[in-house]
Amino acid sequence: MTTERSGGGDLRLSLELLWRGRERQARGPKPSLSLDQIVTAAIKVADAEGLGALSMRRVAAELGVGTMSLYRYVPGKGELLDLMLDKVSDPGDTAERVKGLDWRGVLNVTARGTRELYLAHPWLLQVNWARPVLGPTSLACLELVLHGLDGLDLSDQEKMMVVVAVDSFVTGTARTYVHSLAAAEGTGMSDEEFWATQGPFLEKAMSTGAYPTLASMSEDAFGASHEQTFEFGLARLLDGIEGFIARRTQYDPP
Query: Which CATH number fits the domain that encloses residue 20?
Result: 1.10.10.60
Answer with the one of 88, 115, 138 that is the final residue of a domain: 88
One domain, residues 171 and 230: yes
Q: pLDDT tens-digit profile of 83-128? A: 999 999 998 899 999 999 999 999 999 999 999 999 999 999 999 9
One domain, residues 115 and 164: yes
Residue 4 confidence (pLDDT) above 80 = yes
One domain, residues 127 and 180: yes
Residue 209 lies in a domain: no
One domain, residues 171 and 244: yes
Answer with the one of 69, 88, 107 that is the final residue of a domain: 88
Domain hosting 111: range is 94-188+224-251
- Residue 27 pLDDT grade (very low, low, confident, very high; cuts 50, 70, 90): very low
Residue 110 lies in a domain: yes
Q: Which residues pair with residue 247 across a beta bridge? A: none
One domain, residues 66 and 113: no
One domain, residues 177 and 65: no
Once rounded to an integer, what is the mean pLDDT over residues 26-30? 51
Select from 36, 85, 30, 76 the least CA-distant residue to 57: 76
**How many Å is the Cα radius of gyration of the chain?**
23
Helices 77-88, 56-63: inter-axial angle, 10-degree rounding: 60
One domain, residues 102 and 161: yes
Answer with the one of 34, 55, 88 that is the final residue of a domain: 88
Cα 123 from Cα 75, distance rounded (Å): 21
Residue 217 lies in a domain: no
Residue 58 lies in a domain: yes
Is residue 8 within 8 A of residue 81, CB to CB? The reply is yes
Q: What is the mean pLDDT of the chain?
A: 91
- Residue 249 pLDDT grade (very low, low, confident, very high; cuts 50, 70, 90): confident
Q: pLDDT tens-digit profile of 39-79? A: 999 999 999 999 999 999 999 999 999 999 999 999 999 99
- Residue 24 pLDDT grade (very low, low, confident, very high; cuts 50, 70, 90): very low
Cα 197 from Cα 152, distance rounded (Å): 51
In the chain, the number of structural domains is: 2
Residue 44 lies in a domain: yes
One domain, residues 244 and 176: yes
Residue 128 C-alpha from the chain's centroid:
10
Residue 247 lies in a domain: yes
Residue 194: CB partners within 8 Å, gap ≥ 6? 183, 184, 187
CATH label of the domain that carries residue 231: 1.10.357.10
pTM: predicted TM-score of the whole model, two decimal places: 0.88
Is residue 41 within 8 A of residue 33, CB to CB? The reply is no
For 58, counting Cβ atoms within 10 Å of its Cβ (0-12 exposed, 13-18 middle, 19+ buried), the class is: middle
One domain, residues 24 and 118: no
One domain, residues 171 and 45: no
Cα 101 from Cα 163, distance rounded (Å): 17
One domain, residues 54 and 98: no
One domain, residues 184 and 238: yes
Residue 162 lies in a domain: yes
Residue 245 lies in a domain: yes
